[in-house]
Every structure is written in structure tokens, then in C-alpha cells.
Amino acid sequence: MPIITFSTGIKKKYVHNIFLKNIVKEIFKKTKKKYIAGYVNNQLVDLNFLITKDSKIILIPEYDRNFLKMIRISGMQLLNYAVTEIWPNIKKASGMITDEGFYCDFDNMDFVFTTKDLSLIKKKMLYLISKEYNIVFKKFFKKKFLKILKIRKEKYQSFLLKINDTLSDTISVCFHEKYFEECHEVQVPNIKFCKHFFLKNISGAYWLNNEKNKMLQRINVVIWSSSSELLYYKKKKIDAEKRDHRKLAKKLDLYHVEYESPGMIFWHHNGYVIFRQLKTFIRNKLLRNSYQEVKSPIILNQALWKKSGHLENYEKSIFTTNSEHQMYCIKPMNCPGHVQIFKQGLKSYKDLPLRISEFGSCHRKESSGSLHGLMRVRSFTQDDAHIFCAEDQIREELINCIDLILNIYHVFGFKKITVKFSTRPEKRIGSTETWNKAEKDLEYVLINKKLPFSIQKGEGAFYGPKIEISLEDSLKRIWQCGTIQLDFYLSKRLDAFYVNKNNQRVYPVIIHRAILGSMERFIGILIEEYHGKFPFWLAPIQIAIIIISKTHKQYAQKICKKCLIFGIRYSCDFSDINFNLKIKKYITQYVPYIIICGDKEISKNVITVRKRDSNVLYVKNIQLFFEELLQESTQHYLY
């Protein structure tokens, strides 16, 4: 006779054991609300769960975020069902939930999926959904189910089940009519909930993400819980495609990537102007915060990376080279180099905190399939810094780091910030006591700054916990850029110490700090956020000077000299082409201001100005105009 306690606090006694779906039916008669799952004693379960003891339940309504995850899990198995119905010999390998849906990897044995096959798969999925069958779970002994998989030659499924470290002898097997597979996740009660989807594309993927394994075929699927959500996603996708930094970069002549040098950026003049301006902006911010800018070598002996612990933890991401029987690493990060700089000369407690910064040129061995314009590269510039401090300086330095990062993001117009606190991973160095202190310091600072944050258990670096700071852009996309990591161990490993008040050697705590992260990636984010229309201070060409006829050239040259005096980046167009075509040229290049010089302007010693995104022409005093531009540039106005 289980007693059920609802989320409202109301209790009800049932004479017999009862399925959750029967409780939902009772509630629906009274409230007309639809529920698709629930929490029973804090355990997420589907509606077919049998309640046999006193329980507290929380019911999950349609369109809850948990509901979306359930849809995507059921959608994965629906895709597997449809594919194996069409091609019985195909073997399903693995799958994963994504931010927009899911993907499934298949071993096609002897053929390759085409776009026509996607249409066929979609048709089959829609047919199966139209049957509105119930999804049913059954318990199996693990050994028995492994035998079934062996008979069916499901080697991938067998492998995944064997490496599952569950202590139970029994497993849950999910049935979609005659199709079945092991699944320990909660699913929707009926397949009809999975109808709001489309098959995105086909790509390749190595089994277990290991390039030594077989290349599988991946089907990527977008799926949402309602037609309105799917429509919103498609609209957002169209907007994102219009803002694609790769297309805009080509239009604005910013950079390109060569086939012979994948993941390496060739900056053109316009793009490198943005790069330099960004670097100057950050450099000035760091100078005001007492950072010392340094430059460390790109190539360092492999022995240093072994000693620091980086080689053991990041070996797959490190490019290596050799010379004169010595192995070297092309640096993937700046940490060991900065410690070597700290070690030069005896340091006293009076020298702390010592803030070292660098626009470090780093290289990482990213897979060719993951490379994506500026967003994912192999060679990048990291606005990296390492703060060497005493333990009693940690909290103050962490607060300064957060203030600096948030201030800089605000300048670029990013106001919605997401903060994640990553705790100790399984594979780590150091004592539990030290990790406890490090995590406590980071948590204290986040609470002190009144920053809402979520905890990512086990996602910290091998040497310390970290704070990840992400931006939300105008398309509601999240970009993780800033990081603050606390490290009690690197200084010990590389024997970097300072002398304290008692004349004793002490290892400093190191705070690893990045603001933009990869400068290349951050520029890619800005291109898309601004739709190529950079703020005045960042724009490659800030002013375009146009003459109506050649008789106005001398007057326009005076304006050019004025630009040089005020440090304004300009372009002069003294050509004979049609005046309207000149205007159109600079409008399509998103130049913030177009200055027109003609007879009227010369007679009154003024200029006519056309501002970007405006059809209005207005007359301006030359000196006053340039003084306003100077203020716009130095104050880093967005518009």
C-alpha cells in the first residue's frame, strides 16, 4: 500500500502497487495537463515505472527541458530502427545527444550514404512515427543480452555494453516495436513525440574518435519538442548562415586558409588591422592592471613538457619536431615558458603578485574534420597570462581577473555572461587537501562577486579547478572564451620559488588566465556578432573619401592629411567611375563613414557625411567631425 507524496505536499494512499502512468491519468482528469515522465524519489523514470513503496513524485509536463532530452534519446533509437529496417546488414556503432539534436554512427560495410538515402531514411522515420507505437522497457540479464548481440553480430553494441561499468547483472532494454537496444536513459512513452525533426547531413567519424580505428558514417539529426521550436531553430540557422564569418571574411578581404596549410590563418591587410587593434586594446588594459608583457619561444625541449606534466596529459594535441638527436614540442600553451621567465633572478615575496602576459603563438594538433574557419584552428594566438602569487593573495587576484574579463566583454557589447565552475577530474595531481582549498577559493570569489554559476564536476584541469566564462551572442549562441585556473603544482614541478619574510623558499600559486582565449576565434565571433559591421575603432577602413569630380581632388587630399593627423584609417577614391558606384562600393564594405567632397563643400569649407546604415547625408565642420571621431575611437563606442 504505497503512499504517494506529490510536489504540492498532498499525500495519497494506494491499495496496490501502481504504475506512474495510472497516476498521470487520474491527474489529467482533474487538470487536463499532459505529463510524459516523472521523478520518483529523485530518480528520473518513464510513465511505465511501477511504484511499489512510499514515494515522493514530481511529474514532468510536456515541453520541459527534460522532455527534450527524452525526445532526443528516443529519436536516436528511431533513426537506428529506420536505418536497420532499410538496410538490415548495417551495424549501429554509437550515438550522442547534441545541443540541437543528436547523431548516430553506422558501419555501412560496403556502401556510402548519399543525400538520396537521407530522404529515404526520413520517409521511413515518418512512417514509423505515424504508427504511434508505445516505447517499452524490459529487463534482461546482461550475459543473456550479450549472447543475443553476438548472434546478431552487433560487435559495436557488445563492446559498449562490456565496457559499461554497471554493477548490476541486469540491464534495461528498450523496444521500438521489434527493434531493440540497451538503454538506461528515460524515453518518451510514445514515438509520436519525435515528429519535429529533420536530417541535417552526413559526415565521417572514427570509431571511438580514434583515427587508428575504422571510419564510420555519421548521420546528424536536428530534433525539437515542438514545431515552433524547430521553426525558431531554422530561422536562427538562416540568420547564422548570413553572418557566417567565412563568407563575410571573403567579402571584406580579411583572411584565407590554404589547402597546403590547414588550420593556419593567412591574415590579409584588412583582417590584420582588426587583429592589431584588438591586441592594442587588450595590451592597454593589461598595462593599466600592472601586467608585464613577455615573449617566449614557440619551440621548447620535450623534457620541459614532460617535467611540467603537459606531455602526459596533452600528448595527442602537441606537434613535435627534432634536431640534433633532441625532441622538441611546438608549444600548445604558454605556461612552462612563463615559469622559466619567472625563474630568472631570485624572487622575493615583495615581488608578488607578479603578472606575466603574452600574446603567445600556440599550435595544437586538431583533427582536420574539426577545423572551421577562425573558430577551430591549429595555429592561434592566445591572450594568455600567469599570475604568480602567495596563498593570501589568491582571492584578491581572482576578483581582479573576473573584473577585468567582464569589463572587456562589456566593451564588445556582450552583456549576458554564463559562468561554470569546473571541479577536480579523476586524472589529477596533488593532494585532496590542496584541491579542497583551491576549489573553496574559486567558489568563494564567484559567490562574493554575486555571479550565478553552474558546477561541472570532474571538468577541471589536471593541475587545478577552473572558472569558465562564456558569452551569449545576439543569436543566443554560447561561446566559451575566458578561463581562470588555479594551480598549486606547476611551480613545484619546475622548481620555481620565491623567498618569503622568513627567508624560506616557497612555491608560488599560479593563476592561469585568458580573456579572449584564441584571438582568431574571438575575431570570428565578432565578425558574426557585428555581421561584418565593426565598431569605428575596430573597422579596417574607418573613412572613405569620395570626390564628385577631379576638380575636387586637392580639397579631398586635405581631408586625407587630417586623417593622418588624427590617426584615422582611410581610403581615397579619386577614380573616374560613376559617383553612385563609388558610394555603393563602400556601403558593401561596411565602412562606418563616407565623406563626400564637391563644389558645395569646398565653398563652405565643410564635408558631407554619410553614416553606415543611413541614407541621410549631413554637413559637418571638418575639425569638429574629426574631434568626434577621435572620441568615438578612444572611448571604444559600439555604434
Residue 331's pLDDT is what? Answer: 95
Residue 292's pLDDT is what? Answer: 97
The structure's pTM equals: 0.82
Task: State how far the Cα of 530 lies from the Cα of 532, in Å rounded to an integer.
Answer: 5
Residue 45's pLDDT is what? Answer: 80
CATH assignment, 536-635: 3.40.50.800
Residue 15's pLDDT is what? Answer: 83
Q: Say which CATH topology domain 66-234 has.
A: Threonyl-tRNA Synthetase; Chain A, domain 2 (3.30.980)
Residue 56's pLDDT is what? Answer: 87
Q: Which sequence positions are flagged as catalytic?
A: 335, 364, 382, 384, 386, 466, 512
Which parts of 296-427 are beta strand (E)?
A: 299-301, 319-323, 326-330, 347-348, 354-363, 379-389, 417-422
Q: Is 325 annotated as a binding residue?
A: no
Task: State how far the Cα of 477 lies from the Cα of 521, in Å rounded to an integer.
Answer: 14
- Which of the following CATH numbers is that of domain 251-296+347-530: 3.30.70.141, 3.30.930.10, 3.40.50.2300, 2.60.40.10? 3.30.930.10
pLDDT tens digits, one per residue of 106-162: 998 778 999 899 999 999 999 999 999 999 989 899 999 999 999 999 999 999 988
Residue 430's pLDDT is what? Answer: 79
CATH assignment, 3-61: 3.10.20.30
Q: Is 335 annotated as a binding residue?
A: yes
Q: Is 363 annotated as a binding residue?
A: no
Other beta carbons within 10 angstroms of residue 9's beta carbon come to 7
Which residues does the chain have with pLDDT short of 70?
28-33, 62-64, 165-167
pLDDT tens digits, one per residue of 154-187: 999 999 988 876 657 889 899 999 999 999 888 8
Task: State how far the Cα of 226 lies from the Cα of 197, in Å rounded to an integer.
Answer: 9
Other beta carbons within 10 angstroms of residue 28's beta carbon come to 12
Segments making up each domain of the chain, as ranges = 3-61, 66-234, 251-296+347-530, 536-635
